[in-house]
Amino acid sequence: MRFSLVAPALCRSALHNQRFRVQVCERGLRKLSTIKTDRPFEEENCHNYNPKAFYPARIGGLLNGKYELISKLGWGSGSTVWLARATHWLPWQNERFVALKITNNTPAVQAAARRELDISDQMFSAETTHPGRQYVRSVLDSFEVEGPEGTHICLAFEPLRQPLWMLGQQSGLTNMVQPRIIKGVLPSILKSLDFLHSECKVIHTDLKGDHFMVPFEDTRVLDEYVMRQQANPAPCRERNGRPVYESRSSFGHLTGDIGYVKLTDFGLAVRGDVAKKHNHDIQPREYTAPEVMLKVGWTYSADIWNLGLVLWELLGDINLLSGRVPGHCKFSNKTRFAQMIRLLGVFKHPELIPNETFTLENSTPMLEGQERVLFINFAKRMLTWNPEERATAKELLDDPWLKSVGRHRASGFGYLEDTILM
């Protein structure tokens, strides 16, 4: 799930390996390092990678006559994401930089991009005073560019610093995000979901740690990042008629306060105000709600189930309902149902049910005492078999766990120990 963000760091380490040969090439006035290796690099690691599907973006290139590409921030199977300078903003528009998502030219990816654009228009076209609107990232601009092999849809967004899960990685020796950080940003998450569900009639369907993004604490962080990239552009690899650049996704350690996060990535979102419940597969399989697995129809409450499991991963780096027997890697829906039964109720495959040590209490080692009790009670309001019994995002905002000050186990060391929550 996190490979696209970890990959840039791995690639930077690989550059120091003597098996790679690096030469310097001239492109305009910029000196760019070109990596020569037969090994897959960056998005080339995607399953069924097709170079003809990706747009051949280059650092310094100008898209749509106004977006100058500064550096590649990341990649996925269907797109690359770049930091770009907006060179022709109107005076009253204060976004000088954007995160520019350049999608592949394949029909499925283009359909998802258009869906994300439609959902963004739906969410932000109507006037509203709902407090959750400010915690949802919208599409600022969209346009199409012609590549050698077809048309690519480009979506411009507000640039954001890093995904929420990365705070755990930066805090010390573990991937666990401290409980006080989670409790500090959960109101913004719940307000954004309530805005989606109650005001916009939208179901996200793909909540995970990557899609809760931390904003920049200071505009100077972005300015300094841009100066570093211009002084030392990312190396690239030329192959199959296309440059593949190293991602530069790190903006350094967070130095300011963490008051909120923004909900992003609506490429799989759907409308909830439909006559009949949706019934197609959604969500990463480890997060899938029972009504989705059972094909009995799902609605807004599927997002709430999803959030409950994401919290376990963020707080304890624990995949609560992994669908895997300990010591084995193979995923099984039967095993996952059995895990649900052990935690929530009865199952027709008793031989698969984990033993009595598999409990919510034993699955929450990162918390202690009353803090653990309150969190489990909070999570139980999200993890119920019956979707109608799940609390809404608005109802969860008043949960006692969010207002508690409790104990948790130490999770390493680092700047988060001194982070102030607003």
> What is the rounded average pLDDT of the residues 224-236?
93
206 is catalytic: yes
Res 22 pLDDT > 60: no
Residues 111-167 pLDDT 10s: 999 999 999 999 998 889 999 999 999 999 999 999 999 999 999 999 999 999 988
According to DSSP, the residues that pair with 239 across neighbouring strands are 242
User: How does DSSP classify residue 210?
Assistant: G
Q: How confident is the model at residue 175 (pLDDT cuts 50, 70, 90)?
A: confident
φ, ψ for residue 179, nearest 5 deg: -55, -40
Placement of tokens 């003809």 in the chain: 52
Averaged pLDDT, 320-330: 85
Whether the predicted model's global pTM rises above the 0.75 cut: yes
Q: Are 107 and 118 in contact (CB under 8 A)?
A: no
Residues 21-25 have a mean pLDDT of: 34
Tokens of 374: 């309150």
Please, what is the Cα angle at 159 between 154 and 161, to 5 degrees?
135
Catalytic residue from among 194, 206, 265, 303: 206
277 is in an annotated binding site: no
Residue 36: predicted pLDDT: 60
Q: What is the predicted pLDDT for the residue at 46?
A: 87
Q: What percent of the chain has pLDDT over 90?
A: 57
- Cβ contacts of 320-327, under 8 Å, gap ≥ 24: 320/363, 321/286, 321/287, 322/286, 323/285, 323/286
φ, ψ (nearest 5 deg) of residue 22: -120, 130
Residues in the chain: 422
What's the distance, CA 398 to chain centroid?
A: 25
Residue with tokens 């006692």: 400
15, pLDDT greater than 80: no
Give me the mean pLDDT over the 20-40 stretch: 49
Assess whether pLDDT exceeds 50 at residue 312.
Answer: yes
Cβ neighbours of 64 (radius 10 Å)? 16
- Which tokens go with 349? 């495959």
CB 63 within 8 A of CB 100: yes
Report which residue type is found at 93. Q
- Per-residue b/e over 346-369, b at no fewer than 16 CB within 10 Å? ebeeeebbeeeeeebeebbebbee
> CA-to-CA distance for 404 and 183, rounded, in angstroms?
9
Helix (H, G, I), strand (E, B) or coil at 274: coil
List, for residues 354-407, the tens digit of each pLDDT value.
Answer: 778 888 888 888 898 999 999 999 999 999 988 999 999 999 999 999 988 665
Residue 12 has pLDDT above 80, yes or no: no
Are the beta carbons of 247 and 73 closer than 8 angstroms?
yes
Q: Which pLDDT value is given to residue 199? A: 95
| Closest to 195 in 3D by CA, of 120, 258, 142 | 120
DSSP string, 391-402: PPHHHHTT-HHH
Cross-strand pairs, 32: 25
Give the pLDDT score at 89.
58
What distance in Å separates the CA atoms of residue 178 and residue 417, rounded to the nearest whole number? 9
Tokens 């929420």 correspond to: 164
CA distance linking residue 265 with residue 358, whole number of Å: 33
Least confident interval from 51-60, 264-273, 315-324, 402-411: 402-411
Average per-residue pLDDT in the chain? 83
- What mean pLDDT comes out for the span 301-318? 94
* 30-36 vs 21-27, strand pairing mode: antiparallel
pLDDT at 422: 37
What pLDDT, on the 0 to 100 scale, is given for residue 173? 61
Least confident of 4-8, 31-35, 112-116, 278-282: 4-8
Name the residue with higher pLDDT: 91 or 308: 308
At 292-303, the pLDDT tens digits run 988 889 999 999
